[in-house]
Amino acid sequence: MANETEFGKDADGRYTLDALLAIMRRLRDPETGCPWDAKQDFSSIAPYTVEEAYEVADAIARDDRAALKDELGDLLFQVVYHAQMADEEGAFAFDDVVDAIAAKMVRRHPHVFDDPSLRDSFLGSGRWDEIKAQEKEARGEQGAPSSLLDDVPLPLPALSRAVKLQKRAARVGFDWPEMAPVFDKAEEEFGELKEAIQSGDQAHVEEEFGDLLFVMANLSRHLKIDPEAALRGANEKFRRRFQAIEQALMADGKPMEDATLKEMDALWDAAKRKEKAGG
């Protein structure tokens, strides 16, 4: 039976990175490992990797350092998981992942690791993009010019991807120079959405609603706001206020199903006032 000392701990009695790698190998062993872990592949694990990244972001948003420590561990485990599966295929190992990212960071920050005199001018110099282009060429990705938008990851959350696509286009001047035209475009898209709703064409409604969201993502970019963070905040605010309605009705012994919309609106407004008053 395995015990804690099988995988090794440091002088302070804590598991090490080497121990974590050994634990992963043991879990993936087809004969003695966990049946669930042993049968997973890159595609089946990928959704968990995305989920863990969101849970890291959630812990940060809640300013919960204890949870952040745990969630970062879960995210690290995802990296170890993918590296182990790649090692089993003979593609690469965890050490190769570490080497690749360390080399990339040194390569992409010459103003830190090579020539500190470049520090003040680096950010606006375009050198970051030049270095990335050189990396692509070294990987054999030269040939016909690729689109600026080609490497914007498709699995990104849609709002985040919209902002990233817009940022890429803005590099070559395809962007409104100020916010006023963005507001005008939002009003235009809102009008087109109303027209689509009146037409009764659901596919057209979905298209126009998407256009409106895309413009709102553009507005968030001009406002220097992360739309995902803003929406998470709105979600959390809704949760707090809705739960305040539930608690108030429960205190009165009244099921939510028996409450009128007017009563719930009044309780919502009360919760809103309480929040603004700092209560």
Q: Choose among 197, 221, 223, 225: nearest CA to 209.
A: 197
Do 39 and 10 fall within a single domain?
Answer: yes
Residue 67 counted as domain residue: yes
Residue 149 counted as domain residue: no
Do 91 and 114 fall within a single domain?
Answer: no
Do 266 and 245 fall within a single domain?
Answer: yes
For residues 240 and 268, is the Cβ–Cβ distance under 8 A?
A: no
Provide φ and ψ at 120, rounded to 5°. -75, -25
Residue 145 counted as domain residue: no
**Residue by residue, what is the 3-state secondary structure of 75-116?**
HHHHHHHHHHHHHHHCCCCHHHHHHHHHHHHHHHCHHHHCCH
Number of domains composing the chain: 4
Residue 245 counted as domain residue: yes
Q: Which tokens go with 170? A: 């803005």
Do 115 and 62 fall within a single domain?
Answer: no
Do 117 and 175 fall within a single domain?
Answer: no
- Amino acid sitting at position 262: K
Instruction: Write out the chain's pLDDT in tens, 279 residues.
Output: 455 446 778 888 899 999 999 999 999 999 999 999 999 999 999 999 989 998 998 899 889 999 999 999 999 999 999 999 999 999 999 999 999 999 999 988 888 888 888 777 777 677 777 777 777 777 766 554 578 888 788 888 899 999 999 999 998 899 999 999 999 999 999 999 999 999 999 999 999 999 999 999 999 999 999 998 899 889 999 999 999 999 999 999 999 999 999 999 999 999 999 998 876
210, 225, 240 - which closes a domain: 225
Residue 144 counted as domain residue: no
Residue 246 counted as domain residue: yes
Per-residue pLDDT, 201: 95
- Amino acid sitting at position 128: W
Do 113 and 193 fall within a single domain?
Answer: no
Count of residues in the chain? 279
The domain that holds 16 is classified in CATH as: 1.10.287.1080
Residue 152 counted as domain residue: no
Per-residue pLDDT, 109: 87
Do 33 and 93 fall within a single domain?
Answer: yes
Do 68 and 133 fall within a single domain?
Answer: no
d(CA 91, CA 44): 18
Do 114 and 189 fall within a single domain?
Answer: no
Residue 170 counted as domain residue: yes
Per-residue pLDDT, 6: 62
Do 17 and 72 fall within a single domain?
Answer: yes
Per-residue pLDDT, 202: 96
Per-residue pLDDT, 1: 45
CB atoms within 10 A of CB 15: 14
d(CA 225, CA 77): 31
For residues 238 and 216, is the Cβ–Cβ distance under 8 A?
A: no
d(CA 171, CA 269): 44
Do 81 and 93 fall within a single domain?
Answer: yes
Do 166 and 179 fall within a single domain?
Answer: yes
Domain extent for 123: 109-138
Per-residue pLDDT, 150: 82
